Amino acid sequence: MIPAWLFIIICLSLGFILIFIETVLIPGFGVAGILGIISIVYACYSAFADLNLLAGIAAALTSILVTLFLFRILPQTNIWDKIRLSACEQKKMGFNTSRDHLNTLIDQTGRTLTMLRPSGTALINQKRYDVITDAEFIAKNIKIIAYKIEGNKIFVKKSAKN
């Protein structure tokens, strides 16, 4: 049987190793991370229960200090570049949140590809768009006209030329 203090050190070390493996080697947060957290919490609990108050406080304080140390040191290492997302959504890379091109669809006609109840898909200028009506149901393959744009919503109604 191993001494309680050694068991606590092993659990703390194992917990930090599992969390390190989870963050660096395994994408996402899953079994290894959860087991690491459980191991650290159990080590702190065991220190309070099996040893004494001072040992429990030392284990908890050690866990907090190691965590703070890692958060302070990791951003300065190459490992951090693998963990954090470095890609930016920039205009020069083709990212565009503007929907100004939708304004050119006003007064354009098209045909419904699905039933609009009240939203669905329509073909306008040979392109598919998600469209919406003002609480009106429009059957499939009906001629429609775009009459209003609100944000990224294209409002359509039945065309008079059906």
* pLDDT of 97 higher than 70: no
pLDDT value at position 32? 87
What residues contact residue 80 under an 8 Å CB cut-off, 6+ apart?
74
Alpha-carbon span 120 to 103, nearest angstrom: 19
Residue with tokens 């890609």: 87
Total-model pTM: 0.47
At 101, which amino acid appears? Answer: H
Q: Give the whole-angstrom CA distance, residue 79 versus residue 15.
A: 19
Helix locations, the chain, DSSP H: 4-24, 31-50, 53-73, 78-83
Q: What is the mean pLDDT of the chain?
A: 85
Whether a cis peptide bond, with omega within 30° of 0, leads into 118 is: yes
